[in-house]
A and B are shown apart, each in its own frame.
Chain A
Amino acid sequence: MSMQKDYIKMVVVLTAIATVCGFLLAAVKDFTAARIEQQILVNVKGPAVLRVLDTSTNDLFADRREITVEDRKYVVFVGKKEDKIWAAAFESSGGGFGGDIGVMVGFNLETDQLAGIGILTHQETPGLGARVTETSFTDRFKGKPITTVFKVKKDGGEIDALSGATNSSRGVCEAIDKTIKLYPAIKKQVLEN
């Protein structure tokens, strides 16, 4: 009987601790969520957007808006040259080798070409897949028309993969491909407002 009581006590105590910890973490996560999002916006997305739409003359940061496409919200950064909208950038992700690769993709709305891309987040292998963040790779996408098949050559596309990092290159292509599909709807809404 006493052994049974011991077991019950163990289960009760562990459950109680886990419950309290769970609630506490949920509360802290809730409390910090907005602030963390803001930090990522300033520290990760901001610099990427500035690189991607580097010829803009407006405050890219202030001129961002939320656009809803098929019930999903996208934060779109709008680039202007002398008050004329010329570009828009938004993010997407694709599955790389070590996890999702977040990519900021900028579009030139006048020519329907990629204005540039920037890698936001990744967990690729340093020295191999992690080279997708280097400009030698990201520049391969600059100026490509949106009709380009964004797949690596091995998969029948038009993009040179990084040697030794095919999967990481695929992830980036996948992310861009997703943005291409959203592009017409987002372009329309950006130019309308």
Chain B
Amino acid sequence: MATSKTLTHEFFKGFWEVLPPFRLVLGLCPTLAVTTMAENGIGMGLATTFVLVFSNIIIASIKSIIPKKVRIASYIMVIATFVVIVELMMKAYFYSISEKLGIFIPLIVVNCIILGRAEAFASKNPIYLSAADGLGIGLGYTMSLFLISSIREILGTGMFFGMSVMWDGFEPFSFMVKAPGAFICLGILLATINRIANK
């Protein structure tokens, strides 16, 4: 592993090798809660990506001055700051989607992917690699949320980005947009991806 620490590797590993939430089974709360529409999935993914990239950059650049005993508190402070920034920015520029995501935007603070990357990666690696890591993992996460939310929106409502895409007389499985549908959808995708990965 140590030999393969290149920029491209750190960026692309987020798309398969440690793809969240399927390969790293982290960040499941938003994965289950907000993925009822493709639009919400992308919004959540990009908000998380923003926080991941910037918290990784800042943590990587101040890691040498943070005493070990208070590192988690310091990381959380940095993360929380970026989460509030993203929350205010979304309210100011993307009001309708920030209304739909609601409480799940402030809850990005407790998304384990972010603290996980800070602790496992940014605190041990140089700034440019940490930025690549954050961006790759964030975009991988966005992709995963988009996948789940597309499946749920299409099957659950017969729509995709609010437009009707199924044939006439299609009966939506409305349970797909409810909580049990989220679990079942995630379970099937996890099983499928594990199957492919273990081959």
Contact = CB atoms under 8 A, between A and B. Distances in A.
B67 A43 contact: no
Interface of B is mostly: helix
Interface of A is mostly: helix
A193 interface: no
Interface string B153-196: 00000000000000000000000000000000000000000000
Given A21-B78, A39-B92, A6 B67 contact: yes
A40 B99 CA distance: 10
B74 interface: yes
Contact of B81 (A9, A13, A25, A35): A25
A13 to B, nearest CB: 6
A17 B78 contact: yes
Interface of B: 62, 65-67, 69-70, 73-74, 77-78, 80-81, 84-85, 88-89, 91-93, 95-96, 99
B65 to A, nearest CB: 6
Q: Which 9 A-B pairs have the closest CB atoms?
A: A35-B92, A39-B95, A32-B92, A21-B81, A32-B88, A10-B70, A36-B91, A10-B67, A36-B92
A24 interface: yes
A29 interface: yes
Contact of A14 (B70, B80, B81): B70
B58 to A, nearest CB: 9
Interface residues of A, number: 19
Contacts of B70: 10, 13-14
A13 B62 CA distance: 10
A32 B98 CA distance: 14
A13 B93 contact: no
A28 B66 CA distance: 25
A185 interface: no
Given A9-B67, A14-B74, A28-B84, 10 more contacts: A10-B70, A13-B70, A17-B62, A21-B77, A25-B84, A28-B88, A35-B92, A36-B92, A39-B95, A40-B95
